[in-house]
Structure 1
Amino acid sequence: MSTSIFTNQNTFKLLNDWYHLMISQKVNEAAALKKEINERKDEIKDDQNLLMYYSLLDFRYKVLTNGLEVTRNGFEEVESLFTPRDNFLMFYYHFFKGIHLTSISSFVEAREHYEKAERLIESIPSEIELAEFYYRTAAFYNYTYKPLEVIKRGNQALELFKKQIGCEINVGLCKNLLGGICIHLEQYEESEEYFTSAIDILQKQEASELILRVRNNIGWLYASQNLSSLAIRHLSEVVENMPNHYKAILLLAREYHKLGEEEKVSELVTKGMEICNQNNDELYKHHFNILNEMNLNISTERIEKTILEGISYFDKEELYEYTKEYTEKLGVCFYKQENHVKASEYFYLHHQAREKKIEKGALK
């Protein structure tokens, strides 16, 4: 690790302590230290490298305190400074840029930055920071469906966090992440075991908001098995306590759609779209638009047009799981209408997306 670039080592240590509090999810302590650091802003501004490190960590603090509301311009303050040349700052620039791009659903570009960060991994000064990198990249590969990478990196993070004092919450979050990939792999019993363990750990830490994250995934677990009443119970609790959790709103709306509750679906879709428009989350905009058309059910052609708009985005971001899901829905719609040419076309596209998904998830 090269920290000689920082002229004020005491302030650098303070910033580093702040980052470690963020990693270990100590929100109140991180907030208190942020106030102390802000009192040293004049010292920080005098050192260009310290200012860059502070700006990077300030972005990371926003992810900690309001991760669901990271916006497309949320990294502009960092990028307005300068492009770092030191390996330590370059690592964190690319790592946090990857987090930002993941948050706004720009997955292909996010992967490029994570890969650049990984080439600088020797710059990471401590095991807790290494564990954080493995956890965040595992979460990224969970979004983009590379299950082997999720399992490998998720377990690397889990084992490193287990060795750290005061990182019990992180252990719980790793188990939540591993439970999520088990849903993708249809290993439902293993998924439930991970979620149960995660909740037990987080309850002991009184991490109520993070428990809601796990409950969201439990709702997804039940939804994946068409256990709508159980899914709705968990997801309703999440939405009630975290009204801007648009991912839970989408899952909840989908379950009501399965039950034919058109008015509830419409209400939830409107709410979810408002949040996604504020955050400019293109991925979830497409999900909500598609669900809205399916709920209105005015015509298969309108549903087809909206799904094709989504598929254009999904393929651009290599999200073949969603292309697979929605082409199958279109194939079924046209089959029911006895439009066998269209049905055949979309079942073939479903097959192609499945092949791309398998290829993407394969061990390289």
Structure 2
Amino acid sequence: MNPVLSSSEVGVKINEWYKMIRQFSVPDAEILKAEVEQEIQRMEEDEYLLIYFSLMKFRHQLMLDYLEPVTTRIRPTIDELLEKIETSNKGISGLLSYYSLFFRGMYEFDKKQYMKAIYYYREAEKQLIHVPDEIERAEFHFKLAEAYYGMKQSHVSMHHVKQALDIYNQYELYKVRKVQCMFVISGNYIDFKRYEKSQPHLEKALELSRELNNKRLISSALYNLGTNFADSGDYEQAEVFMKQAVEITEKEKLTNLPHSLFSYAKILFKQGKMNEAIQVSKKGLSAALYQGDELFAKLQGYLKALYVDAVDQHGVNQTIEYLEKNKNYSYVEDIACETAAAYANSKEFETSYVYHQKMVETQTQIQRGECLYDF
């Protein structure tokens, strides 16, 4: 008969498992996950450790979802996990509370619900005092930087990403996170329209990604380089990088395929390559529907309304309404700007003015941040 294990022994192994997750070391994480799943059956009863174990299984799946093809996904929902936590003990606090809130924020970010993500991260921050691990603090600052970047709160995002990168730079094993930090930094520079400052970070990110032979990161680095050139107006160079990104993403069946195809189609439309753009857009819509990615399904509808249907105002407005409902303001700003320009080009200046005003209102909304800080 196998001896009963103490919860502290299993807890140490769960901590090691989490370390491998944070390093994106999939083989090691899979081995430790399997060992923990066996040992949990032989463990003395410990309600809190079982909750910690459930949360770590979810965190493990978030790692796999980022790195691996869509077809491998079998992901428990965070709602199921949180329900288990709440029914187990409504009074959880400290480190366990931190993880439940932090992982919930990651889940909401994954669904592109940036406001909800920031809410849960801010709640998790109240429990950060219980987190002694320096790398875990770096993780917190990185995820907050990522969410604020999604909301175009660029200065706040830069503040947090610098804190994260200062820690990651002290450790050799966190190159994946270093690359991701470079993506956030470059994205913020793009929002500042400092394309010349963005590019070196992306070139370094691509170099590191190739050293790691990480296909997801390589595709993201190429994608971001394409975005940098597109936003600076060099669509020809943007197309070169974006095409390479899409080819890798398609081949590896990565979860960011709808996003990549949307941006690639948009670059082609802007160059007037209509037939090619329409085919890429249709492929993007199919990928979004297959993955259940409602945001990029709606955005492909916007491309059709603007470029194929020669500005279908109803179609554009439907997309804007959806984005505003979900607080995806950065996309509203871009769409309003492009639609205003399209109407100005056709000399429909009154309608152009309407969308220009929408762009200005949205910029104000972004700057206000909907009072993200609650004192």
Using the TM superposition, give the Cα deviation of residue 269 of structure 1 relative to its aligned residue in structure 2, in angstroms: 2.1
1:8-47 aligned within 5 A? 8-43=7-42, 46-47=45-46
- The within-5 A match list for 1:228-267 is 228-243=235-250, 244=254, 245-267=257-279
Query: Which of 155, 163, 171 is the equivalent residue of 2:162?
Result: 155
> What's the counterpart of residue 52 of structure 2?
53
1:276 aligns with one of 288, 291, 302: 288
Q: For each residue in 1:141-184, what CA deviation from the matched residue of structure 2 results, as whole angstroms up to 9, or x when unmatched?
A: 11111101111111100011112342233223212221121111
SS of the residue aligned with 1:166? coil
Pair 1:276–1:234, CA change in 2 (3 A): same
Change (3 A) 1:178 1:361: farther
Number of residues of Structure 1 aligned to a counterpart in Structure 2 = 356
2:302 paired with 1:290: yes
Shift in CA distance, 233/280, structure 1 to aligned 2, threshold 3 Å: same
* CA distance in structure 2 between the partners assigned to 1:148 and 1:187 by the alignment: 13
* Whole-angstrom CA distance in 1 between matches of 2:293 and 2:33: 28
Cα contact 1:219–1:232 (8 A) shared by 2 = yes
CA distance 1:270–1:258, shift in 2 (3 Å): same
Q: Give the letter aligned to residue 331 of structure 2.
A: Y
Q: Distance in 1 between matches of 2:74 and 2:315?
A: 24
Greater mean alpha carbon deviation, residues 308-317 or residues 72-81 = 72-81
Q: Counterpart of 1:3?
A: none
| 3-state secondary structure, aligned to 1:82 | helix
Q: For residues 163 and 198 of structure 1, what CA distance do their matches in structure 2 show?
A: 17
Q: Does 1:308 align with 2:308?
A: no
- Report if aligned partners of 2:113, 2:327 keep a CA contact under 8 Å in 1: no
Range 135-144 or range 303-312, more displaced: 303-312
Tell which deviates more after alignment, 345-354 or 327-336: 327-336
CA distance in 2, matches of 1:363, 1:46: 41
Residue aligning to 2:197:
190
TM-score when normalising by structure 2? 0.86
Report SS of the residue matched to 2:84: coil
SS in 2 for 1:25: coil
Compared CA separation, residues 211 and 263, structure 1 to 2 (3 A): same
In 2: Cα distance, 1:238 partner to 1:251 partner: 10
Please list the CA deviations of residues 189-229 of structure 1 after superposition, one character each: whole Å capped at 9, or x if unmatched: 11111112223333333334322221111111111122223
> 1:129 is matched with which residue: 111, 121, 136?
136
Partner AA of 1:89 in structure 2: L
The residue type equivalent to 2:205 in the other structure is: A
Amino acid at match of 1:177: V
State the Cα distance separating 1:131 from its structure 2 match.
Answer: 0.6
2:351 aligns with 342
Q: Cα gap change, 1:327/1:206 in structure 2, threshold over 3 Å: closer, same or farther?
A: closer
- CA shift, 1:284, in A, is 1.9
Q: How big is each residue's C-alpha offset from its partner over 1:273-321, in whole Å with a ceiling of 9 and x where there is no partner? A: 2332344333222211101222322x53xx2222222222332343333
Using the TM superposition, name which of 315-324 and 51-60 deviates more: 315-324
1:81-160 equivalences in 2 (<5 Å): 81-83=84-86, 85-160=92-167
Q: SS state of the match for residue 203, structure 1?
A: helix
**Any gaps of 5 or more consecutive residues in structure 1?**
1-5
The change in CA–CA distance for 1:72 and 1:351 in structure 2 (over 3 A counts) is farther
Check the 8 A contact 2:61/2:75 in 1, yes or no: no
User: 1:139, CA displacement in angstroms?
Assistant: 0.8
Change (3 A) 1:163 1:97: same
In structure 1, C-alpha distance between the alignment counterparts of 2:318 and 2:75, rounded to whole Å = 21
The runs of 4+ residues in structure 1 deviating greater than 6 Å are 70-73, 361-364
Larger deviation, residues 184-193 vs 303-312? 303-312
Give the stretch that moved more between structures: 279-288 or 253-262.
279-288
Q: Do the aligned partners of 2:306 and 2:339 also contact (CA within 8 Å) in 1?
A: no
Q: Where does structure 2 lack aligned partners over 5 or more consecutive residues?
A: none
Equivalent position amino acid for 1:87 in 2: G
Q: Is the alpha carbon distance of 1:336 and 1:170 closer, same or farther for their aligned partners in structure 2, counting shifts above 3 Å?
A: closer
Whole-angstrom CA distance in 2 between matches of 1:285 and 1:208: 24
